Structure 1
């Protein structure tokens, strides 16, 4: 099983949007038995809460399920469980690297490295900007590219 963890600050906007979108892409590709996806936040601000209302709205319009998703904080065990840690911005990347447990086999890559259509280094945080549509466009492109990379890297 290949495991991917998307990481943002509070785990109610960007990373759950990426988790749900990626899970939808994986299901449509018939790879649910080979790739598992989750999301977490570097902070514990919203622990236990569902995705932000705007995130749920965007996902609902796209007919993507977010059922059962609840915010959680990154844990030390995530370094053991996941093959890919995908932070949504440079701050999340720094926070993960400060948290990092020594594991050579885990791939830590900024989400925007999978988005060729933008020169930005960060997925903007819609919690502050309010631009959930822009974030969804970036996430859609990034998830498609990441899934293709995973399929190539693992011969799926």
Structure 2
């Protein structure tokens, strides 16, 4: 089984959106039993909380349910358990590289490197902005999720 972990700062906006979008794409492709997903934050600000209501609203408007997800912080086990650790922005990428054992560093990447339709490498944090920021984040993540799924299908012949 392939394991994918999506990581942002607090695990209530970007990373649960990424997990929800990717989980939805896996279901559509019939691959939910072949690829395990999870999300976590680099900080412990929101442990146990559901995704931000604006993230939930944007996902729901697009037919994706993320209300079942709960925030947690990245722990040492994650670096062993996940074959792909995908950061939302440069600060999270740097934090993951600083915390990861050397054996895991090559599995840490920016999520948006898998995107095809957008030219940015980082998912902006919409937390302090308006609702339009959540729609933009969703668009970026959806694009990258499609590219990630295509890459994993090819790499693991799924």
Give the TM-score category using the shorter length. over 0.9
Unaligned runs of 5+ in 2: none
1:16-35 alignment, distance < 5 Å: 16-35=16-35
| CA-CA distance at 1:63 after TM superposition | 1.5
Whether contact under 8 Å (2:80, 2:104) holds in the other structure is no
Whether contact under 8 Å (2:9, 2:41) holds in the other structure is yes
Whether contact under 8 Å (1:83, 1:105) holds in the other structure is no
SS in 1 for 2:6: strand
SS in 2 for 1:23: helix
CA distance in 1, matches of 2:84, 2:27: 18
Who is 1:133 aligned against? 135
Whether contact under 8 Å (1:48, 1:72) holds in the other structure is yes
Pick which of 98-107 and 63-72 moved more. 98-107
CA distance in 2, matches of 1:138, 1:98: 26
CA distance in 1, matches of 2:117, 2:7: 21
1:7-156 alignment, distance < 5 Å: 7-103=7-103, 107-130=107-130, 131-156=133-158
| CA-CA distance at 1:126 after TM superposition | 0.5
| CA-CA distance at 1:95 after TM superposition | 0.2
- What's the Cα RMSD here? 1.3
| CA-CA distance at 1:104 after TM superposition | 5.3
Pick which of 104-113 and 127-136 moved more. 104-113
TM-score in terms of structure 1 length: 0.95
Whether contact under 8 Å (2:115, 2:146) holds in the other structure is no
Whether contact under 8 Å (1:7, 1:87) holds in the other structure is yes
TM-score in terms of structure 2 length: 0.94
Unaligned runs of 5+ in 1: none
Deviations 1:61-108 (A, max 9, x none): 111121421000000000111000000011100000000113259521
